[in-house]
Structure 1
Amino acid sequence: MKQWEKTLISPDCTMEEAIATLDRVAVRIVMVVDTQRQLLGTLTDGDVRRALLKQRPLATPVREVMCVSPRTAEKSWGRERILSVMEKYSLLQLPVVDAQGTVIGLQTLHDLLNRPRLNNPVFLMAGGFGTRLRPLTHNCPKPLLKVGDKPILEIILERFISAGFHRFFISTHYMPEMIRAHFGDGSRWGVDIRYVHEEVPLGTGGALGLLPHEEIDSPLFLMNGDLLTTLNFLNLLEFHETHGGAATMCVREYEYTVPYGVVESEGHTIRSMVEKPVHKFFINAGIYLLSPELVKSVQAETRIDMPTLLEQEIAQQRTVNMFPVHEYWLDIGRMEDFQRAQQEFASL
């Protein structure tokens, strides 16, 4: 049983029983649910104290003293968003519910601030020319362009760090000295950063051949250095470890509306007409989790793009999974994307 499940109680429990549960679980909150685990309310030690000050008897059902409209979090929320809500409302705990209001977890400030230290290597691709963002990239590599008051790559780095990762590799090509000067060895963030340099561009997968393969001993994150996303990296890692396979590719749903009425026919006979149909596709989101074996299969100085590398794995009957990204995601490839990032950054 997960620890948070021990905090679930019935609305018919007495305050005395709730106090016993609070003492037993030691997270200073119990979640009041019905038989389907729908969240009805919460009861904290503060709620109990207030009830006792009002001289409510210990036999009082918790339904009479609980908070009936508690703050909650969604499963997709990242650590920063949860911490922000906790700080805003001075909360030490936050129930996690699904779309139907069913309790699926509990986040506590203690656990969030004492995050795990994860040894998975993270490889950030920062060698691109950023041609479509010129003239901004004439004197600055695209990953160092600022969104808000921080470079794009620094935002990515800090999101991984906040999730508990500390082993980083950065691939460089265009203006590498500027990237090295900004990030250094990572000591500014309390992590380790090392670099591989592409003398000639090797594609989105070729730089894997420049890594110290003997040190890649667990699934490796590979991410383009020009993405803004609130993707929960721990959920991605859990998915990859659960489903196995050579790789997991993050994908994003993309909708395309045909701006005309589409006619379907059989010979010269019209069978149907659909006005401005919408087609949905999954597109590559530029974030991957790769098995150590796949990383080590890429030889030094090999030019290859990630889609080609994964297609080779599929052709060899090896499993490549996909992980849909429903969180915020923006590929900053064009000037309009960069301007959009500036407008949306504050809400991240």
Structure 2
Amino acid sequence: MTLAAGLTVRPADTLRTAHERMRANGRGLVAVVGRGDKLLGTITDGALRRAMLAGADLDGGVDQAMSLQPLTASKRATKKELLALLRTHRLRSIPIVTDGRLVGVRSLDELGGTGMPAPVAVVMVGGKGERLRPLTDTMPKPLLKIGGLSIVERLIEGMAAAGVRDVYLTLNYKADVFEDRLGTGKHLGVALHYVRERKAMGTAGALSLLPDDLEGPVVVANGDLVTTIDFRALLDFHWHHEGSITVTGVEHLSPIPYGVLRFVEHHLLGIDEKPQRRDLVAAGIYVVEAPVLRFVPRDAPSGMPDLIARAVGEGLPTHVFPILERWFDIGSPEEFERVLLHFAVGADSE
């Protein structure tokens, strides 16, 4: 067993390097190795994102997210034993170690196993895209093309790469155009199912129109987002944490046009002149367990915040997944032009 390229990082590497290698190797894991490939620890995609939520710096060291006592397996472990370990601990990959030295990494994919039931997806494309008028007077926003593919096709391709095979498109504005342009979805690697809203249903209402026999997790996404999010990493995160709902977040900077006072009680410590406030805001992509859909009112408008509030109120585990990849909410024709340029120069691969 030989080590494939991109499976390891060194102690002096940054979290950004670790993240880039995880994206490239598709294992959701990199091993931190020393001299002679001695295994020092591992970093999973989930551990890296949890570290970012706790304030880690992508340009800081790998020690911010490294497990010093990772789950490992012997080279002698059978396929059955490896699958049992991965499923028990809800992990995609496991390092193979001999005498403390990394000799390989095995994953669910190569072992022919699965973790969770097959996911499905719902992409909401019923909006009118009024912020992008006049571009959307004749063409719905999700069908506007960026780099040769429409916005919604980019989303669906990313979902298909994560194992999604059935995608439900919730339609309202210019519904026929979507069916004419996208057809069966075969060219995207999925089966497309079209769900027509008789009225505007909000960001969650159309979930009540889905089949009642869904078993796997449901990826829910706004159909007008441009992002390079790793949907497999999102699904792995959701599976590992045994969540009922996982909400994606993206960092948003808000300039404060005043000097902000730093103080304790009535004692002034200093003034921060026009700082930027950093918040993690909802990114319009969610993973929802099928049983949670019972909280969606039947054939009535409802929003994702309402569904999340009901789940939290019932004490169901709900988690946050920070998006570290590219993410754009195109709110104006000028922003659309900027994103077009971004993808034209190949920056989407960053």
Q: CA deviation at 1:189?
A: 3.2
For residues 169 and 198 of structure 1, the distance between their equivalents in structure 2, rounded to whole angstroms, comes to 12
C-alpha distance after superposition, 1:142-174 (max 9, x if no partner):
110111221101111111222332111111110
Q: 1:183 to 1:115 in 2, by over 3 A?
A: farther
For residues 230 and 21 of structure 2, the distance between their equivalents in structure 1, rounded to whole angstroms, comes to 7
| Cross-structure match for 2:39 | none
| Cross-structure match for 2:226 | 228
| Cross-structure match for 2:137 | 138
For residues 147 and 293 of structure 2, the distance between their equivalents in structure 1, rounded to whole angstroms, comes to 34
Q: Secondary structure at the match of 1:193?
A: strand
| Cross-structure match for 1:321 | 319
Q: 1:38 to 1:199 in 2, by over 3 A?
A: same
Q: CA deviation at 1:78?
A: 7.4
Which ranges in structure 1 are unaligned for 5 or more consecutive residues? Answer: 1-24, 41-71, 84-96
Q: CA deviation at 1:315?
A: 2.2
CA RMSD of superposed structures (Å): 3.7
Contact 1:32 1:39 in 2 (8 A): no
Confirm whether residue 347 of structure 1 aligns to residue 347 of structure 2.
Answer: yes
For residues 275 and 289 of structure 2, the distance between their equivalents in structure 1, rounded to whole angstroms, comes to 39
Which ranges in structure 2 are unaligned for 5 or more consecutive residues? Answer: 27-41, 44-60, 68-93, 96-103
For residues 136 and 30 of structure 1, the distance between their equivalents in structure 2, rounded to whole angstroms, comes to 44
Contact 2:7 2:21 in 1 (8 A): no
Q: TM-score, normalised by structure 1?
A: 0.68
Alignment partner of 1:255 out of 250, 253, 256: 253
Contact 1:116 1:164 in 2 (8 A): no
Q: 1:170 to 1:153 in 2, by over 3 A?
A: same
| Cross-structure match for 2:19 | 75
Contact 1:172 1:197 in 2 (8 A): yes
- Aligned residue type for 2:19: K
Give the number of equivalent residue pairs.
273
| Cross-structure match for 1:211 | 210
C-alpha distance after superposition, 1:194-233 (max 9, x if no partner):
011111111000010011122x101110011111112111
Greater mean deviation of Cα atoms: 184-193 or 284-293? 184-193
1:236-315 correspondence runs (5 A): 236-263=234-261, 272-315=270-313
For residues 126 and 207 of structure 2, the distance between their equivalents in structure 1, rounded to whole angstroms, comes to 13
Q: Secondary structure at the match of 1:139?
A: coil
Q: CA deviation at 1:265?
A: 7.2
- Aligned residue type for 2:347: S
Identity value in percent: 31
Contact 2:11 2:62 in 1 (8 A): no
1:12-91 correspondence runs (5 A): 25=1, 27=2, 38=10, 74-76=18-20
C-alpha distance after superposition, 1:26-69 (max 9, x if no partner):
x5758998xxx7389xxxxxxxxxxxxxxxxxxxxxxxxxxxxx
For residues 267 and 10 of structure 2, the distance between their equivalents in structure 1, rounded to whole angstroms, comes to 54
Q: 1:149 to 1:274 in 2, by over 3 A?
A: same
Contact 1:115 1:164 in 2 (8 A): no
